């Protein structure tokens, strides 16, 4: 099949989005499509995933144009930015989810949804292998095949343990609504256990030691929420043990919230210090057992600390079936699915990837860039050949196509110019660019990748962009003389995806939030908390969830958080 956005597509296929699905057995598709002229067969789009990217794609797709099938192991969309609030009962779980069938029904059009997970993508035969959670097909294994014309992979990512022993068995993760519910129960269990009459002081302390591993936005927000829950609500209910509560935040880097402006990092560390949250930076957790967390620091060596409950929030990794897919298409050495500027999976016709499964997480970006710096440093001769610069930049561009666009959009002199003019130059030729200058130029890359985190913002913008492309595909086919963007290697009907960074928040507890808005405008305090409330109320996916979330906030202001362990 042709690369849909480059070449002229024919409308004879099916677009499939992998996200959530239900049911089993082999899928049969009806050929008759009464709304369309005779002989017209809609293409089948399969969408995998009902998270930020998949749902935004579906909400913006003109479903009259395609036969759309949605597959996902969960039959709802979850508003993940409010999950830390769910862990402490500030917001109820049902307030942050919207059933996908309701979203699709509101949209109207030709959508089908199956609650199942994809466990294998077969790009050669344009099929995906799925498994229902409820084992409903004739063989009793719940497996079924779905074919596609276009596949949209929007399956997000999994929590990454970095193979640290004991993490999976002993730590909580905070990725799904169920995780938040488990954490909430576990916090209450720790308090109830610590209140039992036969425990000594040490055992009570152990049960009331809450450890958060990972000083990124999720870990920091959870630590802040927990601190508020303890001081505002639980201290009144457990007066005899409240002085034994300890919250520790462990981060391997030198600071927490490293992706934010330095002012925010400093403010957060100072505030947590004042609140009594023990921020341990420069410590790497190397082992977690049932009773203790072992961490390492060059100065102190290994330290094992007893704990009652631990939440692991150190970053995300690629799902195993996506890794398998990447191997099939020659991307085994990549960390996430590599796409081009039009979000098409490289070396794989008619497959698109959006959201976390195709967006590299910031920590990994930094590691990659550091590696590239190390490579550049090997040459101490003072200059780099065009070929060396090309190689390094190509590596960056393949991993982060947005960086290329950024450089071009800024009409950067220096390295971007070198790439353009360097074509055809020999390997031996050196250019008038010292390593220092090269590093300086790369630091622009560094500042740009800070704006490419694996976030809901990126996922939603990608979903929306891709839907727009799909919606225009037919019109572009019918009007080949319409506006066409000319690029080096060919003609493209669509502008490439461009990410627009709208800013980010870091709630720090005590009704204070840090906000970093475009233009590096920083605001910290109570006023930003109100901005946070308004933005998150506005961003809700439906009026139902908006009303529920706002009433949860109101309930919390009036009655406090609920401390029953349900």
Chain residues binding ligand FAD by CB under 6 A are: 18-20, 48-54, 71-74, 80-81, 83-84, 117-118, 154-156, 174-175, 218, 319, 321, 355-357, 454-457, 459
Judged by CB, which is closer to ligand FAD: 407, or 454?
Answer: 454
For residues 275 and 560, what is the distance between their CA atoms, to the nearest angstrom? 19
Contact call for residues 255 and 215 (beta carbons, < 8 A) = yes
For residue 466, the minimal CB distance to ligand FAD (Å) is 12
For residue 341, the minimal CB distance to ligand FAD (Å) is 18
Backbone φ and ψ of 292, nearest 5°: -145, 155
For residue 91, the minimal CB distance to ligand FAD (Å) is 12
Which residue pairs, CB below 8 angstroms and at least 24 apart, start in 127-134?
128/16, 128/18, 128/46, 128/48, 128/71, 130/21, 130/71, 132/21, 132/22, 132/23, 132/24, 133/73, 134/22, 134/24
Judged by CB, which is closer to ligand FAD: 72, or 451?
Answer: 72
Half-sphere exposure (CA, 13 Å, Cβ side) for 476? 22
Locate the DSSP E strands across 192-257.
Answer: 209-213, 246-251
Locate the DSSP E strands across 31-184.
Answer: 43-48, 66-72, 76-78, 97-99, 111-122, 127-132, 143-147, 150-153, 158-159, 172-173
Cβ neighbors of 342 (< 8 A, separation 6 or more) are: 5, 6, 469, 492, 494, 496, 497
For residue 377, the minimal CB distance to ligand FAD (Å) is 33
Contact call for residues 116 and 71 (beta carbons, < 8 A) = yes
Helix, strand, or coil here: 14?
Answer: strand
Judged by CB, which is closer to ligand FAD: 222, or 238?
Answer: 222
For residue 452, the minimal CB distance to ligand FAD (Å) is 12
Closest CA to 353 of 150, 116, 101, 502: 150
Judged by CB, which is closer to ligand FAD: 307, or 536?
Answer: 536
Judged by CB, which is closer to ligand FAD: 155, or 514?
Answer: 155
For residue 520, the minimal CB distance to ligand FAD (Å) is 18
With CB atoms as reference, the residue minimizing the distance to ligand FAD is 51
Judged by CB, which is closer to ligand FAD: 307, or 312?
Answer: 312
For residue 1, the minimal CB distance to ligand FAD (Å) is 22
For residue 429, the minimal CB distance to ligand FAD (Å) is 43
Judged by CB, which is closer to ligand FAD: 73, or 509?
Answer: 73
Contact call for residues 373 and 392 (beta carbons, < 8 A) = no
Contact call for residues 5 and 494 (beta carbons, < 8 A) = yes
What sign does the dihedral 71-73-77-82 (CA atoms) show?
negative
For residue 504, the minimal CB distance to ligand FAD (Å) is 7
The gap between the terminal CA atoms of the chain, to the nearest Å, is 52
Judged by CB, which is closer to ligand FAD: 98, or 117?
Answer: 117
Judged by CB, which is closer to ligand FAD: 363, or 493?
Answer: 363
For residue 369, the minimal CB distance to ligand FAD (Å) is 20
For residue 261, the minimal CB distance to ligand FAD (Å) is 16
Judged by CB, which is closer to ligand FAD: 78, or 442?
Answer: 78
Judged by CB, which is closer to ligand FAD: 216, or 496?
Answer: 216
Closest CA to 283 of 254, 260, 305: 254
3-state helix, strand, coil in the chain (%, to 5): 40, 25, 35
Q: Quote the radius of gyration of the chain (alpha carbons, Å).
A: 25
């Amino acid at each position: 099949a042709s690369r849909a956005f480059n070449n002229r597509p024919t409308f004879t296929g099916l677009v499939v989005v992998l996200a959530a699905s239900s049911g089993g057995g082999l899928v049969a598709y009806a050929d008759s499509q009464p709304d369309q002229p005779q002989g017209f067969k809609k293409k089948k789009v399969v969408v995998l995933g009902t998270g930020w990217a998949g749902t935004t794609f579906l909400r913006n797709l003109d479903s009259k144009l395609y036969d759309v099938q949605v597959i996902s192991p969960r039959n709802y969309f979850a508003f993940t930015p409010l999950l830390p609030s769910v862990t402490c009962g500030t917001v109820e779980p049902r307030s942050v989810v919207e059933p996908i069938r309701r979203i699709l029904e509101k949209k109207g059009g030709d959508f089908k949804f199956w609650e199942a997970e994809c466990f294998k993508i077969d790009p050669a035969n344009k099929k995906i292998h799925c498994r229902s959670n409820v084992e409903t097909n004739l063989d009793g294994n719940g497996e079924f095949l779905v074919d596609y014309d276009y596949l949209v992979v929007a399956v997000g990512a999994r929590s990454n343990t970095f193979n640290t022993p004991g993490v999976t068995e002993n730590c909580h993760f905070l990725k799904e609504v169920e995780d938040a519910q488990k954490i909430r129960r576990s916090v209450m269990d720790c308090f109830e256990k610590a209140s039992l009459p036969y425990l000594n002081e040490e055992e009570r302390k152990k049960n009331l030691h809450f450890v958060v591993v990972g000083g990124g936005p999720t870990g920091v927000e959870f630590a802040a929420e927990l601190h508020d829950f303890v001081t505002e609500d639980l201290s009144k209910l457990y007066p005899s043990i409240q002085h034994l509560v300890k919250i520790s935040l462990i981060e391997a880097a030198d600071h927490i919230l490293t992706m934010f402006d330095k002012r925010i990092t400093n403010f957060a560390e100072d505030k947590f210090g004042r609140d009594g949250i023990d921020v341990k930076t420069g410590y790497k957790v190397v082992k977690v057992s049932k009773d203790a967390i072992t961490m390492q620091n060059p100065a102190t060596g290994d330290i094992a600390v007893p704990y009652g409950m631990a939440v692991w929030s150190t970053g995300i990794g690629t799902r195993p079936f996506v890794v398998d897919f990447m191997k099939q298409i020659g991307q085994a050495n990549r960390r996430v699915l590599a796409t081009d500027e039009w979000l098409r999976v490289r070396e794989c016709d008619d497959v698109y990837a959006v959201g976390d499964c195709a967006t590299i997480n910031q920590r990994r970006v930094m590691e990659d860039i550091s590696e590239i710096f190390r490579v550049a440093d090997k040459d101490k001769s003072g200059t780099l050949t065009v070929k060396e610069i090309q190689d390094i930049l190509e590596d960056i561009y393949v991993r982060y196509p947005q960086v290329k666009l950024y450089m071009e959009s800024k009409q950067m002199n220096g390295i971007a110019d070198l790439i353009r003019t360097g074509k055809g130059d020999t390997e031996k030729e050196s250019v008038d660019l010292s390593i220092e200058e090269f590093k300086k130029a790369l630091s622009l890359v560094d500042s740009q990748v800070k704006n490419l985190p694996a976030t809901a913002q990126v996922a939603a913008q990608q979903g929306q962009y891709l839907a727009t492309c799909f919606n225009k595909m037919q019109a572009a086919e019918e009007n080949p003389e319409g506006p066409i963007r000319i690029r080096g290697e060919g003609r493209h009907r669509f502008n490439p995806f461009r990410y627009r960074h709208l800013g980010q928040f870091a709630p720090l507890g005590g009704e204070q939030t840090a906000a970093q808005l475009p233009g590096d405008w920083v605001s910290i305090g109570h006023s930003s908390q109100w901005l946070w409330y308004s933005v998150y109320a506005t961003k809700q996916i439906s009026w139902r969830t908006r009303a529920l979330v706002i009433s949860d906030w109101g309930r919390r202001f009036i009655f406090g958080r609920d401390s029953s362990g349900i």
